[in-house]
Amino acid sequence: MDLDNQPTNRRVNTMNDIIATALAAAKKNTARLTRVQVYHLTAAGLLGMNEEGEFIVTEKAERRVARGKNAQLVAEWKPQVLEAVKQLGTDVERHIRVDDVWKFLGCPDKKTHRTPILKNLQAMRDEGLLEQHKRGNSNFGIYYTVTPEFLA
């Protein structure tokens, strides 16, 4: 069997992958970054210099890392939020609030878990599984109802 002619399933690194890897290395030790990593991070505005001429990770980089952690947390909570909505949304008249899902899941820390729950509800709304209704101008005045498609 000739292995040289076999197709490979190698994943091609995207620019986001390259930047994420370089950013992880920069957070550990900026002195050990390669020139290519310095170039990509600087071009993206994620690496700067201080007064002594040393590389530093910028605030923009810190925000990017935080967004990545939030996105990961949202993905982890998706199945649980979907199950909670299935249990709470028994008909199209039943109102579901973020706090209802939070209480149903028994989350210990509201500050940490409210955002992933809210983002998952918003994603379900965007997919057409939920309808959003506003009672006020804040997130606390928003409630959701399941659509007939969700119940089908």
Q: Check residue 54 and give its pLDDT.
A: 87
Q: What proportions of the chain, in percent to the nearest 5, are helix, strand and coil?
A: 60, 10, 30
The token pair that represents 140 in the structure block: 């606390």
User: What residue spans define the domains of the chain?
Assistant: 15-57, 67-151
> For residue 110, is pLDDT > 80?
no
The token pair that represents 86 in the structure block: 């299935």
Domain 67-151 -> CATH class: mainly alpha
0.75 surpassed by pTM: no
> For residue 2, is pLDDT > 70?
no
Residue 145's DSSP bridge partners are 131
Q: Check residue 139 and give its pLDDT.
A: 65
pLDDT tens readout for residues 66-96: 888 888 888 998 999 999 999 998 888 888 9
- Average the pLDDT over 141-147 and give the result: 88
Q: In Å, how far are 1, 6, 13, 16, 63 from 10, measured between CA atoms?
A: 20, 12, 9, 17, 30
At residue 130 the predicted structure's pLDDT band, cuts being 50, 70 and 90, is very high
SS3 of 13-38: the string is: CCHHHHHHHHHHHHHHCHHHCCHHHH
Q: Which helix (H) or strand (E) holds 2?
A: none
